[in-house]
Amino acid sequence: MQVVTRFAPSPTGFLHIGGARTALFCWLYARAKGGKFLLRIEDTDRERSTQAAVDAIFDGLSWLGLDADEPPLLQSERAERHREVALELVRRGAAYRCPVSQDELEARRAAAAALRREREIAAPMSAEQAASLEAARDHLMKPFRSAWRDPARPLPEGAPYVVRLRMPDEGEIVVEDRVQGRVRIACSDLDDLILLRSDGTPTYMLAVVVDDHDMGVTHVIRGDDHLTNTFRQLPIYLGMGWTPPVHAHVPMIHGPDGKKLSKRHGALGVEAYRELGYLPEALKNYLLRLGWSHGDDEIIDTDQAIAWFDLDGLGKAPARLDIAKLNAVNSHYMARADNDRLADLFFALPFEPEVEARLSPAARDRIRAAMGMLKTRAATIVQLKDASAFLSDLRPIRLTGKSADLLNDEARERLRQVVRRLEALPDWSEGAIRDEISGLCSELGVPMGKIGPLLRAVLTGGAAAPDIMLVLTLLGRNECLARLKDQAEGAR
């Protein structure tokens, strides 16, 4: 049997990282088993679904490389098929027409609750009255079983009706969940849920089952907020004589404080992580580990994940988002990523105007050429801003504080000597520069420790930078000499 998984987001907002993780698990399972991964947009909530959200979801998935094997299915386009199944369920006796709509049921329940409140504060009533009121209330508060379950009971002439599922009277619905284990609920605790509303539109519960069946879905992997829906969905499969899929309900992602992830924890959408400068392969690795494990392995690239992924590795306890760990994983992937790709991602960032102004074509070239070193000094693409600041157009550098104090007349004279020697240097390589500067140090009888800090101050203006010889090499001859001359000649 070919494995078919699906990701079925409701397009009401961005691609949540919880959703992205679900999609990743579904995608990996399909890839691991040589199966198919499908997409379904659950856009039946007309008021809350938007095209912008659909686009954001596709965008997030494609950024993460979670490609579907077939064009996405739009749930809203399948209402006719959903209706057909509802009527087939009626024909089979697994569902029935009922004139009590959801609104009416809710109104009745609200009235029952109000009656009870009234009774509590109102004048005394007879024990009999009280008992009958209580019985009526209890009846209405219980899972709804309509009087029209009885096929012999005729519908009121011309009255609108809904189609309800006939929940079994007795027994249990049992979900053999691959993550949660065996979970059961008594049928008497479940409503006769509505499948078709009185305007003929299908409900979400019906649409999910029909679509999963028609798409040939064999494994439903989704958040455990849907576990309770499964109890309502299984009887629909049974009513149609369809084989239900395997279920795996994955615990939600929690924030660092152990509470369910919410806005107050910060970034929720995948696009926010992209903007924060994380690489898709790193976020993917991180999300995989957030809920799935393979021994103690932390770094698991996509190929390895495909080879290893199975439902048995899914954890039952909710995982907590840990940004320090995400940064560590991202650093790992940054260090291995192609330098030009990182440079392109870096230059595509939105820069503050003053930063942008310092990124001349020459500065961009310097940064691109230095990427092999820069990427080891930044955990994210955004952190490359600080790491590369010394390579941007800083001139004229205004020295402040301790750096300014270093620059006395003697220091200026030393800088002029450095300039003279470096100007004459035929080969601008790290080794040649190092030899030249240590030659100068021995000539002057000063230790390197005297010149290094001065050069660092003058060349970087105090920006974070690597070893001074590397700074000289990466800045290149022209920019180095220009920065040195600025200060040697007294531009302050």
Binding interface with ligand GLU (CB under 6 A): 8-10, 42, 208, 222, 226
- 145 vs 226, which CB is nearer to ligand GLU? 226
Q: What phi, psi does 429 have (nearest 5°)? A: -115, 160
- Three-class secondary structure assignment of the chain: CCCEEEECCCCCCCCEHHHHHHHHHHHHHHHHCCCEEEEEECCCCCCCCCHHHHHHHHHHHHHCCCCCCCCCEEHHHHHHHHHHHHHHHHHCCCEEEECCCHHHHHHHHHHHHHHHHHHHHCCCCCHHHHHHHHHHHHHHHCCCCCHHHCCCCCCCCCCCCEEEECCCCCCEEEEEECCCEEEEEEHHHCCCCEEECCCCCECHHHHHHHHHHHCCCCEEEEEHHHHHHHHHHHHHHHHHCCCCCEEEEECCEECCCCCECCHHHCCCEHHHHHHCCCCHHHHHHHHHHCCECCCCCCCCCHHHHHHHCCHHHECCCCEECCHHHHHHHHHHHHHHCCHHHHHHHHHCCCCCHHHHHCCCHHHHHHHHHHHHHHHHHCCCCCCHHHHHHHHCCCCCCCCCHHHHHHCCHHHHHHHHHHHHHHHCCCCCCHHHHHHHHHHHHHHHCCCHHHHHHHHHHHHHCCCCCCCHHHHHHHHCHHHHHHHHHHHHCCCC
Instruction: Judge whether 18 and 224 are in contact, CB under 8 Å.
Output: no
Shortest distance (Å) from residue 234 CB to ligand GLU: 13
- 3 vs 378, which CB is nearer to ligand GLU? 3
- 233 vs 383, which CB is nearer to ligand GLU? 233
Shortest distance (Å) from residue 255 CB to ligand GLU: 19
Shortest distance (Å) from residue 19 CB to ligand GLU: 7
- 18 vs 239, which CB is nearer to ligand GLU? 18
Shortest distance (Å) from residue 220 CB to ligand GLU: 6
Instruction: Judge whether 257 and 110 are in contact, CB under 8 Å.
Output: no
- 16 vs 456, which CB is nearer to ligand GLU? 16
- 137 vs 247, which CB is nearer to ligand GLU? 247
Q: At a CB cut-off of 8 Å and minimum separation 6, what does 219 contact?
A: 3, 4, 5, 26, 29, 245, 246, 247, 248, 311
Work out whether the CA dihedral 220, 223, 224, 230 comes out positive or negative: negative
- 8 vs 374, which CB is nearer to ligand GLU? 8
Shortest distance (Å) from residue 480 CB to ligand GLU: 56
Shortest distance (Å) from residue 277 CB to ligand GLU: 27
CA distance 416 to 490: 11
- 57 vs 389, which CB is nearer to ligand GLU? 57
Shortest distance (Å) from residue 226 CB to ligand GLU: 5
CA distance 176 to 171: 16
- Rounded to the nearest angstrom, the gap between the alpha carbon of residue 430 and the centroid of all alpha carbons in its chain is 43
Shortest distance (Å) from residue 9 CB to ligand GLU: 5
- 243 vs 408, which CB is nearer to ligand GLU? 243
Shortest distance (Å) from residue 214 CB to ligand GLU: 14
> Per the omega criterion (within 30 degrees of 0), is the bond before 396 cis?
yes
Shortest distance (Å) from residue 111 CB to ligand GLU: 32
Shortest distance (Å) from residue 136 CB to ligand GLU: 36
- 42 vs 177, which CB is nearer to ligand GLU? 42
- 99 vs 223, which CB is nearer to ligand GLU? 223
- 8 vs 370, which CB is nearer to ligand GLU? 8
Shortest distance (Å) from residue 225 CB to ligand GLU: 7
